[in-house]
Amino acid sequence: MAEIAIIGGTGFTKLARLEVTRREVVHTPFGEPSAPLTHGLLNGVEVVFLPRHGSGHTLPPHRINYRANLWALRHLGIQSLVSLAAVGGIRKDMRPCRVAVPDQIIDYTWGRKHTFFEQDLTHVTHIDFTEPYCDALRQALIEAGRRAGLDIVGNGVYGATQGPRLETAREIDRLERDGCDIVGMTGMPEAALARELDICYASCAVVANWAAGRGATASITLDEIDRNLKQGMQTASDLLTETMSGLSHG
Ligand code: HPA
């Protein structure tokens, strides 16, 4: 049975090197996940894959049923989860096409169903979220990146914004003052829900564009995002493949 899952974001509705074995529809008490769960082998390791925005990339970040996605993965026995996510680069070294493995999160999202601990509680639960990502999985990704000689940044503060619009230049200034290095729309509540379910969670953030007001151009185009994601996805895909080989060899 697979213990590791991959959630793919924008640009990752499929995993190029996944040998698909079957698809499974899972219904949850929280509604339907973004898509059927795809079982397969990645570099010989059993994994489950789920496209976060749906198979046809139709779900915007604020409409994703994060609770159903996480619950479904837990239901299948998943213990470790790698999130692939497109982000904008704020810090100088977070240039387009690079892949970062962030180590912190600041949450600016609102109005999303962000907890499993809501109803029918016997007591109030506060999860520890001091370190929002699972360090063992982060290190496995960073080590794999080193082994494969990939262009990976092994840290970064992920600012989670509401979307679906991109930010204003002054909003990015504010995020930078807060300490954010990259900005994306799906990192929360996904990471917190994973922690609530005791799933070890880490993220590969693919920089798709300079954040608003940071690049040489006056605006951000979808063309630019698509082009950079294609290249960054190649790196992320190499990184995942190498990470699996590390996991299967101990
Ligand atoms: N901002 C927020 N989310 C994103 C961006 C961005 O600039 N690029 C890709 N996802």
Q: pTM (2 decimals)?
A: 0.95
Mean pLDDT by 10 residues, the chain (250 residues): 89 85 96 96 94 90 96 97 97 97 98 89 84 97 96 96 97 98 98 97 97 91 92 92 77
Q: 158 with 106: CB under 8 angstroms?
A: yes
CATH of 4-112+131-249, one of 3.40.50.1580, 3.30.70.270, 3.40.718.10, 3.40.50.1820: 3.40.50.1580
Query: What pLDDT shows up at residue 250?
Result: 53
Cβ of 209 below 6 Å from ligand 1: yes
| Nearest atom in ligand 1 to 167's CA | 1
Q: How far is the CA of 247 from the centre of ligand 1 (A)?
A: 30
Burial of 28 per CB tally in 10 Å (0-12, 13-18, 19+) = middle
Beta bridge partners of 99: 152, 206
* Sequence ranges of the domains in the chain: 4-112+131-249
Q: 208 CB under 6 A from ligand 1?
A: yes
User: Separation of 212 CA from ligand 1 center, angstroms?
Assistant: 9
For the Cβ of 161 lying below 6 angstroms from any atom of ligand 1, the answer is yes
